[in-house]
Chains A and B, each alone.
Chain A
Amino acid sequence: MNKKNSVTIRKQDLKPIAEGAAFLGTGGGGDPYIGRLVAEALFDRYGEPEMIEASELDDDANVYVSAMMGAPTVLVEKIIGGPELDLSISALEKYTGKKADAILPVEMGGCNSMLPLAVAAMRGLPVINADGMGRAFPELQMVTFNVHGINASPMSMANEHGESVIINARDSKETENKARQLIINMGGSAAISCYPMNGAQVKQTAITGTLSLAMGIGQSLAQGRKENVAVKHLVEFLRSSEYYQHARVLFSGKIVNLKSSIEGGFTKGECFIQGLGGQASQQMSVEFQNENLVARLNGQLVAMVPDLICLVDSDTGTPITTESLKYGQRLSVIAASVPPIMRSDKALSVFGPRAFGYDFDFTAVEKL
């Protein structure tokens, strides 16, 4: 494989990547703190991994997706990151008979932005600067790989006991359904590998540049904080990026009401943000199912999934997860366009508004 353009992911890069992924996670994916510490510890033990661009992959290279699946609350108690990470890859290698050449993240959100880096370090393999969402989603089938007809199966799940399971389901949604049931039996969380692909498929289906993008978001927040202009700085950075150029602050204010409940394993709810000062008569509502899905200003739709709707602290720009929303918080709501590959008709049928139960079609944030 051509590695001449590879970049080393250093230990100090993990903090900005984690914060950038928390932003792209749009409220979901949980706190990446533990994932970051795990990656740091594994970098110390195995060395820092190389990051390569998808375009540098040989067409017949074997690419393995790495992630954890399960409840963030379990993850903070039974910390993942031992032999199970390695096993999730080797179990799938054994099944397919193909040795992994590179590791691919499935999403940029919470822990799953960190664990592929840890696996790459453990395996001494390069990690690809790309993923299947450019953000976070709650279910396995909600990725561009699936949109382009690649099956999540065969998929491996592994736990700390050295146990592994291979799922071979008829499509990605069915893979998700079966894995979700198995997770409970495996202790509430598992290391997984799915969507085994070759280099040509990755080039065709992945969203590229997202790992360095997450790092850029984290770095721009850190830089902006020094001058107390974190939110402004972040939006400027997004606008300068290839995919997220239609980025803007939709609204700023404080949370005046919060409704949240649990349905089918997801935190569903809505938060209401009242304007401050001259905007005191305006109100924004953001609906979420783990991730933020729809934003309305005075009842009018202004942004919707799969475009990014991110809630950040108005002062520090720190991304706020759905679990940590509370009354009185001062927030800015930032919306950003997603790459065209996420907005195709096929993509929207998998993770557009209707896939989340809304009865309207997708309209791009720059047109609202």
Chain B
Amino acid sequence: MRLGIDVGGTNTDAVLVKGEQILASTKQSTSDDIASGIVAAIEQVIAQANIGCSDITAVMIGTTQFTNAFVERKCLDKVAALRLCLPASQSLPPFADWPKDLLEAIDAHYYLSAGGYEYDGREISAIDTKDLDRIAKDICAKGVTSVAISSVFAPVRDAMELQAAEILRKFNPQLDITLSKDIGRLGLLERENAAIMNASLASHAKKVVASFEAALQTMGINAPFYLTQNDGTLMQAQEVAKFPVLTFSSGPTNSMRGAAWLSGVDAGLVVDIGGTTSDVGALLNGYPRESSVSVDIGGVRTNFRMPDVLAIGVGGGSLVDADGTVGPKSVGSKLQQEARVFGGEQLTASDVAVDAGRANFGDASLLADVGNAQLKAALVSIERQIEDGIDRMKTQAGDQPVILVGGGSVLLGERLNGAGNIIRPPHFAVANAVGAAIAQIGGEVDQVYAYAEIPREQAIEEASERAKQTAIDAGACADSVEIIDIEEVPLAYLPNGAVRLRVKAVGDLIEVQD
């Protein structure tokens, strides 16, 4: 039996899942200390399902804690950035193009040293251990406890990053060290940025993971626990303490994964309608399609795995203007006070849904003085905007199934242009927690191959095997591991058929094969 928990900024949701069945679910407020909100949610679902804590075999938590901390510049460590690259890549040192307030928050020491690789794995230069000794001493002298290490083409070869970490640890075994090869993809600056972000969250991650642990212990739950990553797969708790940045943006991913599981549809579109915005994303093989462009987080450019989600300014609390246009302004969380059907002054998208008979809350008679034309136009405005979002996020022409989740999904009727069929799965309000509960273990390989030297089929096979093994090493059940994505990006302007190959494998978690 799996316990899925989603710790959001506002709500903490929990679900109990056994096999294909949802036994219990709840929505609680997120507490300031995080732990007590989790405890309250767990108490609820355990009581509902009438089970003992020992029946729980695994706990999966999705959280926005780390994203929020970084974006708000709270609880961040000072970071030293070490890049192995010389004599290459010296014109743009680490922290290039970072916002000033962030630099102040994490204190920006950086070091460039010899090392790094060419795209084909040749060394740019040998690692300089003497220089690294000097840097290690300097880091210790500055009292910095968290370090981000990057090297040119680390995704192709990671030996130098590992060696540099070993040298630094000789001088201070307690150092928190993030290696860029564990975090991101090709693109030195973006990968290094993500590694620095991760390093800045090192102490906070330990604290948050400890508070999750404490909450579970309070409840007497001894099952292993995991956090969900932004690609919809799991990390063990002790790994999260090392790689908090990999949880960034796991919220939309969990919601889409949950929607796929609840509806039994693994290819189509998911529309998650909240109070202020709707998120639209595409599902491929039950996973969200990933974004192919660089993503700014807290003003810093990164390139790690993120779901490709389009936010549309339409939600349950969106304001309706005189000519019936809906959004992007919203009453937000004050729907219960400000919407017309609740006795408020504002005409919102929810009022429109009540008038159309799609939703059944508040007092519909309070809408008597609103013009029919305005209400009708608003209904059209909502549908057009959602249809437009669906159309933009489609990966191919033709109608596709559309899964509606989130509290605001009552805004929509039974027909949408571009939607083959509309599915409203049960438990749609806690899709996030469901997505966490069903998360799998993944493994990924991202490397440049020269097809002139290693034939394409052989390269793909080799990368696939390595991706599968990475998933198995991380705790996936070997029988269940499969390749879910192969992406080939040719390196343009080079004649020897060099291709950047990205392969992703996932499998079920060993403990939860119930």
A184-B495 in contact (CB<8A): yes
Known: A38-B92, A78-B116, A78-B153. A71 touches B491 (CB 8 A): yes
Tell me, in angstroms, the Cα distance from A254 to B394 when the chains sit together: 11
B490 touches A267 (CB 8 A): yes
Q: Would you call B495 and A265 a contact (CB within 8 A)?
A: yes
Q: Which residues of B contact A42 (CB under 8 A)?
A: 91
Is there an interface contact between A73 and B87, defined as CB atoms closer than 8 Å?
no
Contact: A160 with B88, CB < 8 Å? Answer: yes
The residue on A at minimum CB distance from B390 is A328
User: Interface with A: B31-39, B54-62, B325-333, B496-504, which one?
Assistant: B496-504
Q: Does B372 contact A (CB under 8 A)?
A: no
B293 within 8 A of A: yes
Contact A81 B492, beta carbon cutoff 8 Å: no
Residue tally, chain A, CB below 8 Å to B: 48
Complex Cα gap A326–B395 (Å): 8
- The residues of A with any CB-CB pair to B shorter than 8 Å are 30, 33-34, 37-38, 41-42, 69-74, 76-83, 118, 138, 160-162, 180-181, 183-184, 187-188, 254, 256-257, 262, 264-267, 290, 323-324, 326-330
Interface of B: prevailing SS: loop
B119: chain A residues at CB < 8 Å are 71, 73-74, 77-78, 187-188
Selecting from B7-15, B64-72, B185-193, B352-360, the interface stretch reads B185-193
Nearest chain-A residue to B496 (Cβ)?
A184
Contact for A138 among B92, B189, B395, B493, CB less than 8 A: B493
The list of the 8 closest CB pairs from A to B, nearest first, reads: A81-B91, A262-B490, A160-B88, A71-B491, A79-B89, A82-B90, A328-B392, A73-B491
Interface centre among B88, B120, B391 (most CB of A within 10 A): B88
| B124 sits at the interface (CB 8 A) | yes
Nearest CB of chain B from residue A178's CB, rounded to whole Å: 12
The answer to whether A160 and B87 have CB atoms under 8 Å apart is yes
In the complex, whether B47 has a CB less than 8 A from a CB of chain A is no
Minimum CB–CB distance for B255 against chain A, Å: 20
- Compute how far the CA of A82 lies from the CA of B116 in the bound complex, rounded to whole angstroms: 15
Chain A residues whose CB sits within 8 angstroms of the CB of B396 once the complex forms = 327
Note all chain B residues with C-beta closer than 8 A to A71.
Answer: 119, 491-494, 498
- B309: interface (CB < 8 Å): no
Q: A37-B189, A74-B119 are in contact. List 8 more A-B contacts (CB 8 A).
A: A30-B492, A73-B186, A76-B189, A77-B119, A78-B118, A82-B88, A187-B122, A324-B292
**Which residues in B have their C-beta under 8 angstroms from that of A81?**
90-92
Report 26 cross-chain contacts, Cβ distance below 8 Å, ordered by A residue.
A33-B301, A38-B91, A71-B119, A71-B493, A71-B494, A73-B119, A76-B190, A78-B89, A78-B124, A79-B188, A161-B87, A161-B125, A162-B87, A181-B495, A183-B494, A184-B495, A187-B88, A187-B118, A187-B124, A265-B494, A265-B495, A265-B497, A324-B292, A327-B394, A328-B393, A328-B394
Determine if A41 and B397 form an interchain contact, defined as CB atoms under 8 angstroms apart. Answer: no
Chain A residues near B394 (CB-CB < 8 A):
327-328
Which single residue of chain B is at the shortest CB-CB distance from A79? Answer: B89
- Contact digits for B483-513, partner A, Cβ 8 Å, 1 yes 0 no: 0000001111111111110000000000000
How far, in whole Å, are A262 and B501 apart by their CA atoms in the complex?
14
Query: Which residues of chain B come closer than 8 Å to A69, judged between CB atoms?
Result: 493
Is residue B262 contacting chain A, with contact meaning CB distance below 8 A?
no
Question: In the bound complex, what is the Cα–Cα distance between A323 and B396 (angstroms)?
Answer: 18
Q: Are A180 and B495 in contact (CB under 8 A)?
A: yes
**Chain A hits for B189, CB < 8 A:** 34, 37, 76, 79
Quick check: B152 and A73 within 8 Å, CB to CB? no
Q: How far is the CA of A93 from the CA of B230 in the complex (A)?
A: 52
* CA of A83 to CA of B424, assembled, Å: 60
- Whether A77 contacts B393 in the complex (CB less than 8 A), given A70-B493, A82-B91, A188-B494, comes out as no
**When the two chains form their complex, are residues B92 and A79 in contact, meaning their CB atoms are under 8 A apart?**
yes
Chain B residues with CB under 8 A of A162: 87
Which residues of chain A have C-beta atoms less than 8 A from B85's C-beta?
A: 78
Residue among A83, A161, A290 making CB contact with B492, cutoff 8 Å: A290
Point out the residues of chain B lying under 8 angstroms from A256, CB to CB: 397
Number of B residues whose C-beta is below 8 Å from A? 47
Is A82's CB under 8 angstroms from B118's CB? no
Instruction: Report whether B186 and A184 are in contact in the complex, using a CB–CB cutoff of 8 Å.
Output: no
Within the assembled complex, what's the spacing in Å between the Cα atoms of A330 and B120?
37
A267 surroundings in chain B (CB, below 8 A): 490, 492
- Contact with A76, one of B116, B186, B494, B495 (Cβ below 8 angstroms): B186
Are B493 and A77 within 8 A (Cβ)? Answer: no
| A345 CB, nearest partner CB in chain B, Å | 28
Minimal Cβ-Cβ distance residue in A for B490 = A262
CB distance from A219 to the nearest CB of B (A): 21
Q: Which residue of B lies closest to A327 (CB)?
A: B395
Annotate B177-201 by CB proximity to A: 1 below 8 A, 0 otherwise: 0000000001111100000000000
B461 interfacial contact with A, CB 8 Å: no
Query: How far is the CB of B309 from the nearest CB of chain A, in Å?
Result: 13
The reply to whether A77 and B87 contact each other, CB–CB distance below 8 Å, is no
Least distance between A67 CB and chain B CB atoms (Å): 12
Contact with A along B471-493 (1 / 0, CB 8 A): 00000000000000000011111
**Pairwise interchain contact A74-B92, C-beta atoms closer than 8 A:** no
Interface residue? B96 (CB, 8 A): yes
Which B75-128 residues have C-beta < 8 A from chain A?
85, 87-93, 96-97, 116, 118-120, 122, 124-125
Which residues of chain A are within 8 angstroms of B496 by Cβ–Cβ distance?
Answer: 184, 265
Closest to B125 in A: A161
* B88 and A79 contacting across the interface, CB-CB below 8 Å: yes
- Smallest beta-carbon distance A100→chain B, Å: 20
Distance in Å from the Cβ of A232 to the closest Cβ of chain B? 21
Task: Give CA–CA (A267, B394) in the complex, Å.
Answer: 23
- Chain A residue with minimal CB distance to B153? A77
Cα–Cα distance between A327 and B394 once the two chains are bound (Å): 7
A264 nearest CB neighbor, chain B only: B495
Whether B152 contacts A77 by the Cβ 8 Å rule is yes
Distance in angstroms between the alpha carbons of A77 and B90 in the assembled complex: 12
Residue contact B88 to A37, C-beta cutoff 8 Å: no
Q: Determine if B391 and A328 form an interchain contact, defined as CB atoms under 8 angstroms apart.
A: yes
Near A by CB (< 8 A), chain B positions 278-328 give 292-293, 301
B491, A257: Cβ atoms closer than 8 Å: no
Tell me the minimal C-beta distance from A228 to chain B in angstroms. 14
Closest to B187 in A: A76
Inter-subunit contact A265/B492 (CB<8 Å): yes
Q: A9 vs B448: C-alpha distance in the bound complex, in angstroms? A: 37
CA distance A329 to B293 in the complex (A): 13
Residues of A within 8 A of B186 (CB): 73, 76-77
User: Distance in Å from the Cβ of A87 to the closest Cβ of chain B?
Assistant: 11
In Å, the complex CA distance between A119 and B26 comes to 62
Q: Which residue of B lies closest to A261 (CB)?
A: B490
Question: Are A78 and B188 CB-contacts (below 8 A) given A161-B87, A324-B292?
Answer: yes
Contacts of A79 in B (CB 8 A): 88-89, 91-92, 188-189
User: In the complex, which residue of chain A has the Cβ closest to the Cβ of B492?
Assistant: A267
A37 with B92, Cβ < 8 A, contacts A188-B119, A262-B499 known? yes
* CB-CB nearest in chain B for A81: B91
Chain B residues within 8 Å of A118, by CB = 91
- In the complex, what residues of B have CB within 8 A of residue A290's CB? 492-493
Are A82 and B87 CB-contacts (below 8 A) given A37-B96, A71-B493, A328-B392?
yes
Is there contact, CB below 8 Å, between B97 and A76?
no
Do A188 and B491 touch across chains, with their CB atoms under 8 A apart? yes
Q: Measured between alpha carbons, how far is A243 from B497 in the docked complex, in Å?
A: 38
- CB neighbours of B301 from chain A (8 A): 33
